[in-house]
Structure 1
Amino acid sequence: MEFKLVLKEKANYIEQLLNKYMPTEEGYQKTIMEAMNYSLSAGGKRLRPILTLEACKIVGGNENDAIPFAVAIEMIHTYSLIHDDLPALDNDDLRRGRKTNHIVYGEDMAILAGDALLNYAFEIMLSNSLGKENPEKYLKAINEIAKSSGIYGMIGGQVVDVQSENQQIPKEKLDYIHNNKTAAIMIGCMRAGAIIGNANEEELDKITKYANNIGLSFQIVDDILDIVGDESKLGKKVGSDIENNKSTYPSLLGLEKSKEIARTLINEAKENINELSEHVDFLNGLADYIIDREY
């Protein structure tokens, strides 16, 4: 089956899981549930929850054990997008082809919706870890997600990204931003899934390298698409990096060199994952998809 169809099937499965775990829109506070659902149901590639389940599966684990973590990681990712779009940060009015959360619900509810998704994500992970036979591995998985999305991961990268606007920064600093803002959360979700699947240290190491490389490549391709992408396919405005005077791979190294680096990262990712298992066709396909994507 064509890879894009497989990816769509997996994304549809994640959609079903998200619907199952989201709270009912009721009570005095139902507006916040509506705002949470609005952004969470906006679609997207669902790569992070898919990667969580795949990592669990390829090390021989039961992917059903990782489902709450897959759902939670998508909530965390969605919260970060809601906050990224706010006027104080990227000031975007379009996300995944829809009006951004603060345009629909106002800045106050958008901030609270992001907070709620982050908090609810950890509620889901913890409530589904209590009473397990081996609670320690689930706590380790939660720790991986917390670190990768916190001050030593995604948020740390976002801080440096914001502070680096309107200035030319060295490639080393740009790599820090990309590795933390984008790659860290992919590392965290894959390590969490692998830990739940009882991965050993060697398996974790190869999964970490794969996740880091596809994460960095994903962001480089994002930088490229912000210049040459089709807004109707991307579902968001192009040219925002230039408008905000952001340093990117293309602005520092040029389009062709950026494409070359992204391709090298993808090839290295595939080498690492192929050493791990024979059953990695999907992860190889995903690596190729990331480098060739148009949105």
Structure 2
Amino acid sequence: MTRANDLKAWQQKAQAQTELVLERLLPSENELPQKLHEAMRYVTLGGGKRLRPLLVLAASELGDADLAAVEQAMGAIEMVHVYSLVHDDMPPMDNDSLRRGKPTCHVQYDEATALLVGDALQTQAFEVLSRPTALPAARQLKMLSVLAQASGSLGMAGGQAIDLANVGKPMNQAELEQMHGLKTGALIRAAVVLGALACPGLGDGEIDRLDRYAAKLGLAFQVIDDVLDCEADTATLGKTAGKDADNDKPTYVKLMGLNEARAYAEALVAEAVALLQPFGEKATHLRQLAEFVTARKH
């Protein structure tokens, strides 16, 4: 089996596991309030690359992981990610009508429901992550702290605020990387660290190395997102192509040019993969996921 086929088979299995975990952890649409729960399931289930839960799972392969903690982290980080997409698509933000190949939440339902879906998914994530596991209490508390910091004003939400404040304004590379290190990179870093924290045997030095890998991966992911926004069509992306240019947002393509941006992403991935060397074969899927980031078409 080739490396590409091996990754594809593992991805499909891991994505199916993520789907089952999310189905189990989300409230039933038959439970009051039904419309809210139906909408939460509509936006969360049946779509997306599931990169963040896959990173949790891949990082957990580096040690003797607690399965319950791993699956709770997979579900929690995807819920936070989906909540951010729901709010990001709304009219005051990016005002998009398509996400993961289907109508966005505020289009399918209404704006008030979309707001509540985001709020509910965010809080559901922390409820899920706080459920009992066999991990030491301090380890589980650290997992909650990692996700909270990655989600808030010093993480994803802060990056989104910087993004909105700079529409139509030029940004240099350092400013662009600071913004995306928060907006996109923070949750990707959290995913890898959560997977590592689910392995009681992994120490601070190893987790720090994994965090540095994830920081480079998160930046590469955003650079390729900017490239694909220019290169791919709406059907392939599953969201509206060309939105960044239409909204006059600062991007790596605008700053560097298309070919240079792609080359930069490939260099970042190479640096990320090099950081995994001490983990040997156990880090195979983390390596393959990094390489997938620059090879992906959506």
TM-score by length of 2: 0.95
Deviations 1:198-257 (A, max 9, x none): 221221121101111111101100000000113211111111000000010010111111
Q: CA deviation at 1:34?
A: 0.6
- Residue in structure 2 matched with residue 134 of structure 1 by the alignment: 136
Aligned-residue offset at 1:5: 2.8
The answer to whether the 8 A contact 1:54-1:63 is kept is no
Q: Provide Cα deviations, 1:41-78, integer angstroms capped at 9, x if missing partner.
A: 14111111111122122133234432111101100000
Which residue in 1 is equivalent to 2:232? Answer: 229
Tell me the equivalent position of 2:17: 13
Match of 2:273 in 1: 270
In structure 2, C-alpha distance between the alignment counterparts of 1:53 and 1:5, rounded to whole Å? 14
Tell me: CA distance 1:99–1:133, structure 2 relative to 1, closer, same or farther (3 Å). closer
Whether the 8 Å CA contact 1:56–1:196 is kept in 2: the answer is yes
Code of the aligned partner of 1:162: L
Is the contact between residue 59 and residue 283 of structure 2 (CA under 8 Å) also seen in structure 1? no
* Preserved contact between residue 53 and residue 63 of structure 1 (Cα < 8 Å): no
Work out the percentage of aligned pairs sharing the same amino acid.
Answer: 35
Q: Where does the alignment leave 5 or more consecutive residues of structure 1 unmatched?
A: none
Shift of residue 137, structure 1, vs aligned partner: 0.4
CA RMSD of aligned residues (A): 1.3
Alignment of 1:186-225 (within 5 A): 186-198=188-200, 199-225=202-228
Q: Counterparts in 2 of 1:162-177, with a 5 A limit?
A: 162-177=164-179
How far, CA to CA, are the matches of 2:160 and 2:132 in structure 1? 29
Equivalent positions of 1:27-176 (< 5 A) are 27-128=31-132, 132=134, 134-176=136-178
Give the distance between the partners of 1:292 and 1:228, measured in 2 at CA.
13
> Cα distance, 1:196 vs. partner?
2.0
CA contact (8 A) 1:141 1:193 kept: no
Structure 2, unmatched stretches of 5+, are: none
Say whether the 8 Å CA contact 2:31–2:37 is kept in structure 1: no
Distance 1:294 1:134, change over 3 A: same
CA distance in 1 between counterparts of 2:48 and 2:151 reads 19
User: Match of 1:22, as an amino acid?
Assistant: L
Moved more, 102-111 or 49-58: 49-58
CA distance in 1, matches of 2:40, 2:278: 40
